[in-house]
Structure 1
């Protein structure tokens, strides 16, 4: 089956000013964008609603995180129910920065994924290995260990609401990029694992996107790989070249 190409932009804790935000929006609103691509931007929470209002309507908005409760005394957290009420369709969960800097376990990421889907959100689920783990030949094992708690909590039907983002930690913001062959191998392993652990249909239909120093110069080759269904872009999503990455599949 044909999987719709997906390009996400993770702004992380950027941009720093309202003026920078407006400049980003201007570039995207005026650009010619491949209409066959699903484009989703994940700004800081403070910009979610304003970006939704001023961005062209075909670009969707994602939160960078959410909590496991719909409401309550959880200072500083963002509620999945609030996101749904605000018509924010996606949330990014399990990013390596959340796992390492904020000590989120795979079990917690799985709980968040379950709650987010139950609340009505779609999830960009991040997985990936460190350089030490890759050099030890443990990439597939690490990624499977990150996916197993999610698989245990989801039904096959739930996977229609999940986009898996394979993000090798050693390639995030470092300028190092997995070769197209390395990315394809990791994505193919994830798809094979989904086929065994969930179902062949889920494996075939689930989009698996690549994140890790994606730029305009490397996106076209990565996009040719059969199991690379798009990108989750960090630093380059804050630059005009993000348009070229969105259009990576165009001739």
Structure 2
């Protein structure tokens, strides 16, 4: 049996309208890369996602796909962590299932990662085509995080993110279960290794409801900002006491 080189985790929460088109894109990804595992996390969805997962997988009967079911949503980060913990690859990655990020970008990240020969490297996307208001928001959050934590961080929520299983095993025990996961992993990589950015295209959401990123309501965005700020200072306090 061929050993799995790369696992790609996609957390899915109420993305039923995006799943059929997402699977078509994932088909192209599995055709382009051998030794690839796709881990789809049904992260406590309350729509028809479970049924669509079953239908789409029955069409394919592919060993490249795995579904991890989380009965009750416990947060964005929790879903990703469950997927990563169930992944078999020696290299791990994740991106979004909302079709605003292209799963094929993970192949660019893999190519960059393999050139480094360093298990402490984290490779991530850097969004180049964002609206000025969204870019300003991302810049502000990155600047605040950098000043508070003492490490230069930017485009915190950009996808995909790719790193070694060695890196994940070292840091996952203290990982947060909400949207702060991206910040936590980037901080760990910057503090103990290296972050490498590469340009990615960020598409408009065509179906489903935004849950914190581009296109989110002010109420949802405000909640995300509040939680991220709280986590920044929680992490800063922890570092001071260590």
TM-score (norm 2): 0.31
TM-score (norm 1): 0.30
